[in-house]
Amino acid sequence: MEPVVVDITQENAQQLLIEESKIRPVVVDFWAEWCSHCKTLTPLLERLAQEYNGQFLLAKIDADEQQMIASQLGVRSLPTVMIFKDGQPVDGFAGAQPESEIRQLLEKYLPEPWREDVNQAQMLMSEGQFTPALEPLRSALAAAPESSEVLLLLTQCYLELNRLDEAEKCLESIKMVDQDDVYKTLLARLELQRESAKSPEVEALEQQLATNPEDANLKLQLAVQYNQSGMHGDALELLIGILRKDLNFQDGEAKRLFLDMLATLGKSDPIAIKYQRKYYTLLY
């Protein structure tokens, strides 16, 4: 487990103030035994460090013992607090401050809460667990709907699971300015998987349906093929079209396949939610 509170000396200052601050914010507390306000502020910072559980590192510097460091950083009074990020001091304050203001200051530099979901998902993905990774990624996307990082990770999961419609929807949601090399790689992979999914059976059924667009049997057969090829949105659209005209088509076979697909996609899947609503409108 990463430390949450450390003491800074000449020996570890470079590593903790510069290198560590490239990984997470480092809150530097300059204090001294004779400083009365320090006796209130330092315990408060220590409590916050424990509460935030490693989201930032509290680095304490005894200004009397480490006068060179204090002088190099321009400390003129105690207590002084500095926030280091990416190797540089970016903010801070001098003197006693209320807890509410300190929390407000910290929140500006702490990682967003949804990043924990992203970290969890990446760990699962590294172990090949792509289905379990979907839940934390969807949670992250709900909190940060425009995050290209989250959308790209979701795309990767969907491609691994051969859920091509969901992968395409994620890629379509990424802003042009964020369409980097990773985006282009995943887009090319999606197109390749779509081409692979176009079996001779699928192409033959599509041609037949184009000639006979009202043939429910053809729609059902093509929906089965689409589902097997990861084209879940296309499959559900065909099935809902059948169910609008006959809820019990082929002794309920179309409804069974439709509901099985929704269950497989999961309750939080955007495509599943869309077609669940359409299905409810048929029932009520």
CATH number, domain at 134? 1.25.40.10
Which of 16, 35, 154, 171 is flagged as catalytic?
A: 35
Structural domains of the chain, count: 3
Query: Does residue 101 share a domain with residue 17?
Result: yes
- Burial of residue 235 (CB within 10 Å: 0-12, 13-18, 19+) is buried
SS percent in the chain: helix, strand, coil, step 5: 65, 10, 25
Instruction: State the pLDDT confidence band at 1, using cuts at 50, 70 and 90.
Output: low
Judged against a pLDDT cut of 70, whether residue 33 lies above it is answered with: yes
Cα dihedral: 11, 12, 14, 17 (round 10): -150
Which of 13, 16, 28, 38 is flagged as catalytic?
A: 38
Judged against a pLDDT cut of 90, whether residue 60 lies above it is answered with: yes
Judged against a pLDDT cut of 90, whether residue 111 lies above it is answered with: no
Q: Of 42, 77, 107, which marks where a domain is finished?
A: 107
Query: Does residue 11 share a domain with residue 102?
Result: yes
CATH number at residue 99: 3.40.30.10
Query: Does residue 89 share a domain with residue 12?
Result: yes
- Nearest to 169, CA basis, from 196, 131, 141, 143: 141
Domain extent for 238: 200-283
Query: Does residue 187 share a domain with residue 205?
Result: no
Interatomic CA distance for residues 30 and 81, integer angstroms: 6
Query: Does residue 226 share a domain with residue 189?
Result: no
Cα dihedral: 13, 19, 25, 26 (round 10): -10
Catalytic-residue membership of 157: no
pLDDT tens by residue, 228-264: 888 899 999 999 999 999 999 999 999 999 999 999 8
Q: Of 86, 107, 128, which marks where a domain is finished?
A: 107
Interatomic CA distance for residues 130 and 154, integer angstroms: 9
Query: Does residue 244 share a domain with residue 187?
Result: no
Question: Torsions phi, psi of 3, nearest 5?
Answer: -65, 150
Please compute the mean of the pLDDT values over residues 146-163 and round it to a whole number. Answer: 94
Query: Does residue 262 share a domain with residue 206?
Result: yes
pTM of the model: 0.60
Instruction: Report the 3 state secondary structure along 105-149.
Output: HHHCCCCCCHHHHHHHHHHHHHCCCHHHHHHHHHHHHHHCCCCHH
